[in-house]
């Protein structure tokens, strides 16, 4: 089971691209997309906003190994991500949750407890674009695992 937990939702062309890869991924594995509301900064500080988002995310992580997207995290080539996903799918609990924060990232308390902090590369991507890139990379990982031609 692969969960993708996102703060906020994609809009416009990024929503269309996200939907396309969500459909592809759902055909490749047990997949679920879960969105949590992005906290607005009108009456709160950025730290408080991150904490409120963390409290919305954490109940969705029960029983899963957690991979948090973080610009300072580990970068994996497509083949390395495929090996990582294959290992997680073969060993209990066979449930991995990938978490993408909003424009402020993720709360330090959540990052401190995740199993892996994953970076999609040196540049910091807008969270909606990171969502599409991660979905594509997860789909690519499953084509690598199954030996399908998409990744060649």
pLDDT-derived band at 150 (thresholds 50, 70, 90) equals confident
For residue 67, give both structure tokens.
């991979």
Q: Which of 116, 15, 98, 104 is nearest to 53 (CA)?
A: 104
What digits encode the pLDDT tens for the residues 58-80? Answer: 999 999 999 999 999 999 999 99
Rounded Cα distance, 100 and 68, in Å: 6
Span 13-42, pLDDT tens digits: 999 999 999 999 999 999 999 999 999 988
> How far separated are the first and last CA of the chain, in Å rounded?
25
d(CA 21, CA 26): 8
91: confidence class by pLDDT, cuts 50, 70, 90: confident
* Domains in the chain, CATH or no CATH each: 2-151 (3.40.1280.10)
């Amino acid at each position: 089971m692969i969960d993708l937990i996102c703060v906020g939702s994609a809009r416009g062309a990024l929503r269309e691209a996200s939907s396309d890869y969500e459909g592809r991924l759902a055909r490749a594995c047990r997949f679920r997309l879960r969105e949590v509301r992005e906290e607005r900064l009108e009456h709160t500080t950025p730290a408080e906003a991150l904490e409120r988002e963390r409290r919305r995310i954490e109940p969705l992580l029960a029983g899963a190994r957690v991979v948090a997207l973080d610009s300072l995290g580990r970068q994996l080539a497509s083949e390395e991500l495929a090996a990582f996903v294959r290992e997680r799918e073969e060993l209990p609990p066979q449930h991995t949750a990938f978490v993408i924060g909003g424009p402020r990232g993720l709360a330090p308390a959540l990052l401190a407890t995740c199993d892996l902090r994953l970076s999609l590369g040196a540049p910091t991507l807008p969270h909606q674009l990171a969502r599409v890139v991660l979905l594509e990379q997860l789909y690519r990982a499953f084509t690598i695992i199954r030996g399908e031609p998409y990744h060649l």
